[in-house]
Amino acid sequence: MTAKTLMIQGTGSSVGKSIIVAALCRIMHQDGFRVAPFKSQNMALNSFVTRDGREMGRAQVVQAEAAGIEPAVDMNPVLLKPEADAKSQVVVMGKPRMTVSARDYYKHTLDLFPIIEQSLARLRSQYDIVIIEGAGSPAEINLLRFEMVNMSIARLAQSPVLLVGDIDKGGVFASLIGTVVLLEEEAERIKGFIINKFRGDISILQPGLDYLEEHTGIPVLGVVPYYHHIMINEEDSIHQGETGEWNRECGIDIAVVYLRRISNSTDFEPLQQEPGVRLRYISAPWQLGNPDLIIIPGSKSTIADLAHLKEIGLAEAILSKARAGTPVIGICGGFQMLGKRIEDPQRVESEQTSIDGLGLLDIVTVFEGQKTTHQVKARIATGEGLFRGLTGEDLTGYEIHMGQTLGGDAPPAFEITQRIGEDVSHPDGATGHDGKVFGTYLHGLFDNERFRRGLLHNIKPLEMQSELPSREEQYDKLAMIVRESLDIGRIYELCGL
């Protein structure tokens, strides 16, 4: 069996390709089709570890969940993780292969394309339909001879293409028509337009839709409204708005440090969904204010990001708050920053071989060439401070980190009890300041509801809703909005379903 295909491309980055693919995966899953997502090459710092310990883009994990299937690296065979302005780590089939400059990367595309072709073929042998996501714009004319994520994949899969434009940004008609013009003969593959993130009266938009169809000969298959209160992340976007009702007296104010190479920002989405919690991202000392909790997230360039925090004075501002009793949590790279020192003798991450940390935890981190990627089960190993009443609580999460962290007198925060299905006993993280400061390598920590709510209660008692909407409910809400907005019957015809 060879699955049908449908490709979603966009007029640019962040127009909503990922979320449209997730919605279509859910809709087709609801309608009884076996559906899988695919993105040949993804550039993202939000990643995930599969059951077999391989790394892939978080967006394709979301799309797989929407499709009701287990995420697998065939859905994202090439992942680029930027480390500097013109350098990225290249993860191939879930394992790091090299770190190269943008210029040198294009020398490897001929070697990578057969791997992409094999992944797509495996998916097509297992499912009824594969929904393919493009990247950026297909009309980047300087990259057309190198690209292996837009029209080259549409040709490979012989797939119809739907082109998405974001009307909220402005200029959507110029973007759609301009893309068609620049693609020249390849534009014949575009079988429909989708207008995304629309606010207002659609009757006012209709003359523009008519003009679009008349001048391109391509039908508009729907207009998707700008929606609120559905917490499904788009690629590397960060939801920075407040959720629920919040006030200084009875709410919890959480400040997350927005690092220049922030990774796995999806760790904090569950906190945003809790009523009474305000989660905000800060990048300067004056933005810190007087939060109830400070979180330092992961980073793809930990040493450089830590040096930047020191340079702008944010490191000292965090230390001042910690000394005054404000709780501080570090996740992955943020955990490493909380220690006494970070060393990189092999220059794995940086040309700088050592940097002093914030000194809030009695630990030292040494970077190594081997990347640790595991799905894990863990147990809370302490009962002090933020962990009060949570000792022994079981958790699930995943590790993605370079290097090893050695603790001095700092007690571990967690005990890892299982890695990739095998029983282990391994300390993770460290605690200090009577449990009000801790760090960990565990991503997905706040997805554990009992831990999340227990930690928030230890900061400030809140009235918690008995149950928050599940991910499944979020996917169903998204599917309902998109189903009502698009001509799904016409889309099925285009796919040959």
CA distance 63 to 60: 5
Its sign, for the CA torsion 9, 135, 480, 496, is positive
Active site residues: 332, 443
| pLDDT at residue number 483 | 97
138 and 174 fall within a common domain = yes
DSSP string, 265-332: GGGGHHHHTSTTEEEEEE-SGGGT-S-SEEEE-EESSHHHHHHHHHHHTHHHHHHHHHHTT--EEEET
483 and 432 fall within a common domain = no
| pLDDT at residue number 109 | 85
Burial readout 402-440 (b: 16 or more C-beta within 10 A, e: otherwise): bbebebeebbbbbbbebbeeeeeeeebbbbbbebbbbbb
**Domain-located, residue 433:** yes
**Domain-located, residue 422:** yes
97 and 217 fall within a common domain = yes
**Domain-located, residue 245:** no
CA distances from 238 to 376, 377, 447 (A): 25, 27, 17
DSSP 20: H
The answer to whether the beta carbons of residues 35 and 123 sit under 8 Å apart is no
196 and 256 fall within a common domain = no
CA distance 384 to 340: 22
Paired strand residues for 88: 82, 100
User: Hey, what long-range contacts does 106-110 have (CB within 8 A, 24 or more apart)?
Assistant: 106/146, 109/146, 109/148
| pLDDT at residue number 401 | 85
178 and 312 fall within a common domain = no
429 and 483 fall within a common domain = no
| pLDDT at residue number 50 | 94
| pLDDT at residue number 467 | 67
CA distance 12 to 175: 8
| pLDDT at residue number 242 | 41
| pLDDT at residue number 409 | 79
E strands present in 46-189: 47-49, 55-57, 78-84, 87-92, 95-101, 129-133, 161-166
CA distance 298 to 44: 13
Task: Kindly report the length of the chain.
Answer: 497
**Domain-located, residue 43:** yes
303 and 200 fall within a common domain = no
350 and 485 fall within a common domain = no
Closest CA to 232 of 65, 414, 450, 35: 65
222 and 281 fall within a common domain = no
Residue 115: give the domain boundaries.
4-231+474-495
**Domain-located, residue 98:** yes
**CATH code of the domain in which 202 resides:** 3.40.50.300
**CATH code of the domain in which 357 resides:** 3.40.50.880
CA distance 215 to 142: 26
**Domain-located, residue 325:** yes
83 and 127 fall within a common domain = yes
The answer to whether the beta carbons of residues 399 and 443 sit under 8 Å apart is yes
**Domain-located, residue 238:** no
419 and 287 fall within a common domain = yes
| pLDDT at residue number 245 | 44
What's the structural domain count of the chain? 2
Paired strand residues for 406: 364
Helix or strand (DSSP H, E) at 489? helix 488-495
Show pLDDT as tens, one digit a residue, over the chain (497 residues).
699 999 999 999 999 999 999 999 999 999 999 999 999 999 988 899 999 999 999 999 999 999 999 999 999 999 999 876 678 889 999 999 988 887 888 888 888 999 999 999 999 999 999 999 999 999 998 888 889 999 999 999 999 999 999 999 899 999 999 999 999 999 999 999 999 999 989 999 999 999 999 999 999 999 999 987 787 765 555 544 444 444 455 589 999 999 999 988 889 989 988 888 999 999 999 999 999 999 999 998 899 999 999 999 999 999 999 999 999 999 999 999 999 999 988 887 777 889 999 999 999 999 887 888 999 999 999 999 999 999 999 999 999 888 888 877 789 999 999 998 889 999 999 999 889 999 999 999 999 999 999 999 999 887 666 667 788 999 999 999 999 999 999 999 999 98
278 and 171 fall within a common domain = no
**Domain-located, residue 466:** no
